[in-house]
Amino acid sequence: MTVVTTDRLVIREWTDSPSDLARIFDIYSRDEVMRWLGGGAGTLTDPEQAAERVQAWRERSAPSGGRYGIWAIEVRDSGQAAGSVLLKPLPGADGTTPTDDIEVGWHLHPDSWGHGYATEAARTMVAREFATGTREIYAVVTPGNDRSMAVCRRLGMTHVGRRTDWYGGTEVETFVLEHPPA
């Protein structure tokens, strides 16, 4: 199901199609991607795990009625899924309990880096969330992940330094976008 379209992208739900499951495995089994996501915890090691991952994503997004979730970023010209964009409440100091702070995030296959897709996808999802009345959206980045911090800056986010409020106290570079702009 399509959530939003942009000039070059369709933001849609991940499906159980063979091509989506293969793509999810290809993305979430790679060190170039997973090293930046919780230090590699949750790396897929078997293609069979992709369907379980999609199911877990669905279960997590269901209570919000589709407001939060992790969606496929499909490139309209090629039909290829470049990766994922996500929007969700940040998990707090215990690592699981959702806080009131909303996170935007992006995970692209390396073959889709360098086209502006992460920024384009995130920009539209952030606008959608701001339209619900949310005043601030955060991005949290593992120190050293320069490409991700560049996405934050392209989105116009402000760097507020390293914080340990979320993800079980993990230290993360924190960016915030305010609506309306400060």
Ligand X SMILES: CC(C)(COP(=O)(O)OP(=O)(O)OC[C@H]1O[C@@H](n2cnc3c(N)ncnc32)[C@H](O)[C@@H]1OP(=O)(O)O)[C@@H](O)C(=O)NCCC(=O)NCCS
Residues making up the chain, counted from first to last? 182
Question: How many CA atoms lie less than 13 Å away from 145 in the CB half-sphere?
Answer: 27
Nearer to ligand X, 62 or 153 (CB): 153
| Residue 31 phi, psi dihedral angles, 5° rounding | -65, -40
User: What is the C-alpha separation between 161 and 171, in angstroms, rounded?
Assistant: 10
Answer yes or no: are the C-beta atoms of 65 and 86 closer than 8 Å.
no
- Least separation in angstroms between residue 29's CB and ligand X is 13
- Least separation in angstroms between residue 133's CB and ligand X is 25
DSSP code at position 112: G
Q: Which of 71, 105, 129, 138 forms a contact with ligand X (CB under 6 A)?
A: 105
Q: Which of 9, 70, 104, 107 forms a contact with ligand X (CB under 6 A)?
A: 107
Residue 59: which of 46, 69, 49 has the closest Cα?
A: 69
Under rule CB under 6 A, residue 119 binds ligand X: yes
Under rule CB under 6 A, residue 6 binds ligand X: no
Q: Lay out the site mask for ligand X across 27-46 (x = CB under 6 A, - = otherwise).
A: ------x--xx---------
Nearer to ligand X, 21 or 34 (CB): 34
